[in-house]
Structure 1
């Protein structure tokens, strides 16, 4: 059903969906506001009414993707009691997000310079990143990590590094699979961060 005139929220969703489709098809280099307008079935001026720049549109799409990632892993975050399994879950989920967005924009870098975007979009992105990181930190605290905030820094850096490696040409430099690499990273991460009386058993 076509979006009704005056339904601003639905129109915004149409624009975001058009942007996501173009991003998947052609990448960030070919994401142009005129193409978004054509795909969404609206005038170019309408797109700029919602998003002042291409970067603002991109950031809004990234924020929604982070929220979707959190929704996907949240049930397992709530029930999980194995840090190694959780590491694999997070790394694999974020690899897909990174392939779509992370190569072009490091979400954490925007937390410190959100003035580069319009306030509403910046807040949306920062809050989405904050919700994801808070959920991960809460899990670390629940498992008894002695320094959950520091552990989160190590976890996130490792996850981003793995995602970058396996979504680039560097993955052809060796014969290891994603499962092998992320499994070893999980074992290393857990052995280094869990209290000494807690063991990680590879499953």
Structure 2
């Protein structure tokens, strides 16, 4: 028995999902795909391997997704939507650095799963043509999450009597900074300098806050 990384509980090697339960079947497929992505990256994300892990036939798998790119987008969209929901529900009185620390575990996990696969995916999907709609889907979900981040930052700043720097790139700069921090944590970069992950997180989130708060 193994735990899936998709947050769907426990699955084993035997099929337990009722054939008429389409939503559960889709969850099984995505759980299998996320396991593969975590273990082998985008290159290991094949439709055959996904089908085997989900306990379905390849024909059944193609009833739900056109190909591995569709599966990848669905996984990434689910993570971004979960993060958006988290942002909308966070306490605005924790301060900006506190807000960033609250969402960092989800950002770190998203980067751990998708970061190393991004270039391979972009080269195949973002090139346009008939696959361009997958890029559109990803961009739409990301922008929705970015708007939630911007809203949360402004509301959190206001709750502390602060004002953010007035610039359209603010939320995106914060996101890129969090991705950089997540990459450091995932790969243990700061540990090379004998700086603990906790100290790095505190320093980085407080620095991000200072960088986006307007001075009087």
> Please, what TM-score do these two structures have when normalized by structure 2?
0.74
Aligned partner of residue 66 in structure 2, secondary structure:
coil
- Counterpart for residue 35 of structure 1: 49
Which fold has the larger relative contact order, with Cα–Cα distance below 8 Å and residues 6 or more apart in sequence? 1
Unaligned 5+ runs, structure 2? 1-15, 158-162
Alignment of 1:161-176 (within 5 A): 161-168=180-187, 170-176=189-195
Alignment of 1:106-121 (within 5 A): 113=126, 115=128, 117=131, 119=133, 121=134
1:180 and 1:33 map into 2 onto residues whose CA distance is 41
Give the drift of 1:176: 0.9
- Counterpart for residue 129 of structure 1: 142
Check if 1:186 corresponds to 2:205: yes
- Counterpart for residue 17 of structure 2: 2
Unaligned 5+ runs, structure 1? 198-203
Once the two structures are superposed, residues 144-192 of structure 1 have per-residue CA deviations (whole angstroms, 9 ceiling, x without a partner) of 3132522212211211111112212534421112221121122222223
2:106 and 2:54 map into 1 onto residues whose CA distance is 28
Give the drift of 1:82: 1.1
CA contact (8 A) 1:88 1:182 kept: yes
Report the RMSD for the aligned CA atoms in angstroms.
Answer: 2.8
Number of equivalenced pairs = 191
Give the drift of 1:134: 0.7
Check if 1:87 corresponds to 2:100: yes
Question: CA 1:172 to 1:185, structure 2 compared with 1: closer, same or farther past 3 Å?
Answer: closer
2:56 and 2:213 map into 1 onto residues whose CA distance is 53
> Please, what TM-score do these two structures have when normalized by structure 1?
0.78
CA contact (8 A) 2:17 2:24 kept: no
Aligned partner of residue 104 in structure 1, secondary structure:
helix
1:92 and 1:13 map into 2 onto residues whose CA distance is 22
Give the drift of 1:118: 5.9
